Amino acid sequence: MGLSRNPLSGSGWFYEHCQMWPGCALSIQYKSLLLEMQTPFQLLQIFETESCGRMLALDSRVQCTEADEFIYHEMLIHPAVFCHPAPRRVLVVGGGDGGAVRELLKHDGVGHIDLCEIDRNVVAASREFLPSLSCGLSDPRVSIHYDDGAVFVRQRRGFYDIIVSDASDPIGPGEALFRQSFLEDIQNALRPGGIFISQGESFIVHFEFFRSFAGLMKEVFPSVSYCWFPVPTYPGGTLGVFLGGFAHDFRIPRRSPPPGFDNQVRYYSAETHKASFVLPPFAADVLR
């Protein structure tokens, strides 16, 4: 293989080349482009890929693929939900693909979910092309709001047991969801004992973001932890979520999965819950 020849050149390959992981790029081969549109907020694309099922990309960054989204969505939701004694009202900010909502609906106690997505085209595209993600969006427990999550959360006080920030990268429309003012509004919107979960990028390839956002979280929440897991189609192949709350040690679930729950998940278990919070020394120091 020659050096100057790019074996991936030409169409048929999607390239994620993001300033969040400079000098590295993941390429994913596709069979067809099912949808491409410039929305008021971002470039939205849905691909039929060669080996990862269908894929949603926003501004040329992978949001999810059918092959590995189950890991992200299970680990975004279940560690936090099993750390809450009785979660009833939940807000999801972002998450227009529906994956987070699908996982929340596996919990009988959850009675009401507000989904606040800034871009209605993401919801529409997911309903049409990603039914395995969007399957829960028509559930009667779910209310969809097309609004800026940072504005929406400011209007709610002491209302939610769990708030999930299923944000894209802290670049573009997702940027507001990583600011201190947003975290303070989240804190006000939570009921006593409430839990906040935020998409937390990779503790390895986004180490500077990880360190800086951990600092912001610790200013707002007395208890902050980071739970990580593999997602092959995200930059660096791992992603993590920050959990923020008031007293609880998130490494220890407060409730056990009910009978039959293990038939509904493929990554989450009582064992993966605990192990996912273990960080190597160079990263654990950041959260101390």
Active site residues: 166
Q: 37, 51, 141, 219: which one contacts its own copies (CB under 8 A)?
A: 51
Residue 35 is a binding residue for its own copies (CB under 8 A) = no
How many Cα atoms sit within 13 Å of 285 on the Cβ side? Answer: 3
* Only segment of 1-9, 84-92, 121-129, 212-220 that touches its own copies (CB under 8 A): 1-9
Q: 20, 28, 100, 105: which one contacts its own copies (CB under 8 A)?
A: 28
CB 226 within 8 A of CB 197: no
Residue 3 is a binding residue for its own copies (CB under 8 A) = yes
Q: 34, 135, 204, 286: which one contacts its own copies (CB under 8 A)?
A: 204
Q: 104, 257, 272, 287: which one contacts its own copies (CB under 8 A)?
A: 272
Distance in angstroms (rounded) separating the CA atoms of residues 109 and 255:
12
Distance in angstroms (rounded) separating the CA atoms of residues 124 and 119:
9
Residue 280 is a binding residue for its own copies (CB under 8 A) = yes
Residue 68 is a binding residue for its own copies (CB under 8 A) = yes
How many Cα atoms sit within 13 Å of 144 on the Cβ side? Answer: 23
CB 178 within 8 A of CB 170: yes
CB 210 within 8 A of CB 227: no
Residue 33 is a binding residue for its own copies (CB under 8 A) = yes
Nearest distance in Å: CB 140, its own copies: 30
* Only segment of 49-57, 86-94, 154-162, 211-219 that touches its own copies (CB under 8 A): 49-57
CB 143 within 8 A of CB 113: yes
Of residues 110-129, which lie at the interface with its own copies (CB under 8 A)?
none
Residue 196 is a binding residue for its own copies (CB under 8 A) = no
Contacts with its own copies by CB under 8 A: the residue count is 60
Residue 205 is a binding residue for its own copies (CB under 8 A) = yes
Distance in angstroms (rounded) separating the CA atoms of residues 109 and 97:
22
Count of Cβ atoms closer than 10 Å to residue 6 Cβ: 10
CB 150 within 8 A of CB 124: no
Overall size of the chain counted in residues: 288
Torsion of CA 100, 103, 107, 111, to 10 degrees: 40
Residue 278 is a binding residue for its own copies (CB under 8 A) = yes
| Pair of tokens at residue 66 | 């059918």
Residue 25 is a binding residue for its own copies (CB under 8 A) = yes
Residue 262 is a binding residue for its own copies (CB under 8 A) = yes
Count of Cβ atoms closer than 10 Å to residue 212 Cβ: 14
Q: What is the CA radius of gyration of the chain?
A: 18
- Give the x/- contact pattern for its own copies in 224-253, rule: CB under 8 A: ------xxxxxxxxx---------------
Residues that bind its own copies (CB under 8 A): 1, 3-4, 6-11, 13, 15, 17, 21-29, 33, 36, 43, 49-52, 60, 68, 71, 202, 204-205, 230-238, 262, 265-269, 271-272, 274-276, 278-282, 284
